């Protein structure tokens, strides 16, 4: 079952940012904590990490796109236990 992950709280009152890097590709296997995207706010560039182990199914955002806190940005198919 695919999981959609959302842009987390960006900090310092920022609710929007710009996607400046996609750190993985569709089909990549990611582990919890791996960087998925980088989002630039007015004050910093934030790496958004994977929350689970899985395989990247697709992006819901693109480079240079403005994103909001709570917006879906990536779909990941979780790895089965033991993978």
Q: What is the pLDDT of residues 7-46, one digit of tens each?
A: 998 887 888 999 999 999 999 999 999 999 999 999 899 9
For the chain, list the domains and their CATH numbers: 3-78 (2.40.50.100)
DSSP state of 61: S
Q: Which of 42, 49, 36 is nearest to 18 (CA)?
A: 42
For position 83, what pLDDT does the model report? 61
11 phi/psi in degrees, rounded to 5: 85, 160
Q: What does the alpha-carbon distance between residue 15 and residue 65 come to, in Å, rounded to a whole number? A: 14
Confidence of residue 80 (pLDDT cuts 50, 70, 90): confident
- Quick one: what percent of the chain has pLDDT higher than 90? 82
Q: Is the pLDDT of residue 55 over 70?
A: yes
């Amino acid at each position: 079952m695919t999981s959609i992950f959302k842009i987390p709280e960006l900090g310092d009152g920022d609710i929007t940012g710009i996607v400046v890097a996609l750190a993985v590709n569709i089909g990549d296997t990611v582990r919890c904590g791996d960087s998925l995207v980088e989002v630039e706010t007015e004050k910093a560039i934030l790496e958004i990490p994977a929350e689970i182990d899985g395989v990247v199914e697709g992006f819901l955002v693109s480079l240079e796109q403005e994103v909001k806190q709570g917006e879906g940005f990536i779909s990941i198919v979780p790895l089965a236990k033991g993978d």
